A and B are shown apart, each in its own frame.
Chain A
Amino acid sequence: MSAASRATRALIAALLALSASSAFAHKPSDSYLAIRVEGARVSGQWDIALRDLDFAIGLDDNGDGDITWGEVKAHHAEIAAYSLARLKLRSSGADCPVHATEFLADDHSDGAYSVMRFEGACPAEVETLSISYSLFADLDPQHKGLLRLEHGPGTRTGIFSPERATQSFELEKISALSQFLDYGREGVWHIWIGFDHILFLLSLLLPAVLVLTGGSWRAVERFSLAFWDVFKIVTSFTVAHSITLSLAALGLISLPSRLVESAIATSVVLAALNNVFPLVHGRRWMVAFAFGLIHGFGFASVLRDLGLPQNALLIALVGFNLGVEVGQLAIVSGFLPVAYALRATWLYRRLVFVGGSLGIVAVAGIWLVERAFNMKIITP
Chain B
Amino acid sequence: MSTIRIYTIGTVTDLLLALALASLALAAHAAPYLPIDDSVVLEHLPVRPGDPIARELKQLRGELAANPRSRSTAVRLAERYFALANAEGDPRYVGYGEAALKPWWDLPDPPLDALVMRAILKQYSHDFSGAMRDLETATREDPLNARAWSWRAAIDMVQANYADARRDCLALQKIESDLFAVGCLAYLDGTTGKAAAAYRDLSEAYARSGDSSPEVKVWVLTRLAEMSLRMGNTKQAEEHFRAAYFEPINDQFLLGAYSDFLLDQGRPDEVIPLLVDWFKSDILLLRLAIAEKELKAPKAGEHIEALRSRFEAAALRGDKLHQQEEARFNLTLLGNKEKALALAQENWKLQREPRDARILLEAALAMKDPAAGQGVLDWLERSGHEDPGLRATAQRLKALKR
Note all chain A residues with C-beta closer than 8 A to B365. Answer: none
B239-247, B320-328, B376-384: which lies at the interface: B320-328
Cα separation A105 to B213 with both chains bound (whole Å): 43
Output the nearest chain B residue to A140 by Cβ-Cβ distance.
B95
**Do A339 and B8 contact each other (CB < 8 Å), given the known contacts A67-B43, A69-B37?**
yes
Residues of B within 8 A of A15 (CB): 150, 154, 180, 183-184, 187, 219
Q: Shortest CB–CB separation between residue B306 and chain A, in angstroms? A: 6
Pick the 10 closest A-B CB pairs, nearest first.
Answer: A356-B10, A70-B38, A140-B95, A142-B95, A14-B150, A65-B48, A25-B282, A24-B89, A359-B12, A104-B32
Whether A22 pairs with B96 at a CB distance below 8 angstroms is no
Chain A residues proximal to chain B, CB less than 8 Å = 7-8, 10-30, 45, 47, 50-52, 54-55, 60, 63-70, 72-73, 104-112, 115, 138-144, 146, 157, 159, 192-193, 195, 198-199, 202, 331, 334-335, 338-339, 351-352, 355-357, 359-360, 362-363, 378-380
Q: B62: shortest Cβ distance to chain A, in Å?
A: 13
Residue-wise interface mask of B (295-333) relative to A, using a CB-CB cutoff of 8 A (1 in contact, 0 not): 000000000001001100110111101101100000000
B65, chain A: closest CB distance, angstroms? 11
Chain B hits for A362, CB < 8 A: 12
Q: What are the residues of chain B within 8 A of A20 when measuring CB–CB? A: 86, 252-253
Selected from A26, A63, A104, A195, the residue in CB contact (under 8 A) with B48 is A63
Question: Beyond A54-B45, A104-B32, is A22–B351 a contact (Cβ under 8 Å)?
Answer: yes
Q: Which residues of B have CB within 8 Å of A356?
A: 7-11
| CB atoms of A16 and B48 under 8 A apart | no
Interface residue B141 (Cβ < 8 Å from any Cβ of A): no
Stretch touching chain A among B16-24, B334-342, B366-374, B388-396:
B16-24
Most B C-beta atoms less than 10 A away, residue of A11, A105, A351, A380: A11
* Pair B215/A23 contact, Cβ less than 8 Å: no
Find the residue from B10, B180, B219, B322 having the highest chain A CB count within 10 A: B10
Interface centre among B3, B42, B98 (most CB of A within 10 A): B42
Chain B contact-residue range equals 35 or more
Please name 4 further chain A to chain B contacts, defined as beta carbons within 8 Å, in addition to the given A17-B151, A67-B42, A106-B31, sorted by A numbering: A12-B219, A21-B158, A115-B32, A351-B10
B39 sits at the interface (CB 8 A): yes
Cα of A7 to Cα of B147 in the assembled complex, Å: 6
Q: Which residues of A contact B38 (CB under 8 A)?
A: 68-70, 73
How distant is the Cα of A49 from the Cα of B227 in the complex, in angstroms? 42
The number of inter-chain residue pairs (CB within 8 angstroms) is 261
A22 neighbours in B (Cβ, 8 Å): 126, 283, 321-322, 324-325, 351
Indicate if the CB atoms of A359 and B11 lie closer than 8 Å.
yes
Pick from B151, B187, B219, B283: contact of A25, CB under 8 Å: B283
Interface string of B168-191 (1 = CB under 8 A from A): 000010011100100110010000
Please name all residues of chain B whose beta carbon is closer than 8 Å to the beta carbon of A21 when the two chains form the complex: 123-124, 126, 154, 158, 351
Q: List 22 A-B contacts (CB under 8 A).
A: A7-B147, A12-B216, A13-B83, A13-B120, A14-B151, A16-B219, A18-B187, A24-B281, A26-B91, A28-B317, A28-B319, A29-B92, A55-B92, A63-B48, A69-B38, A70-B39, A105-B33, A109-B313, A112-B43, A142-B92, A142-B94, A335-B4
Given the interface pairs A112-B42, A195-B19, the reply to whether A30 lies near B317 with Cβ below 8 Å is yes
In the assembled complex, how far is the CB of residue B124 from the closest CB belonging to chain A, in whole angstroms? 8
> Whole-angstrom distance between the alpha carbons of A107 and B18 in the complex?
28
Separation of A17 and B3 alpha carbons in the complex (Å): 58
- Contact yes or no, B32 A23, CB < 8 A: no
Inter-chain contacts of A115 with B (CB < 8 A): 32
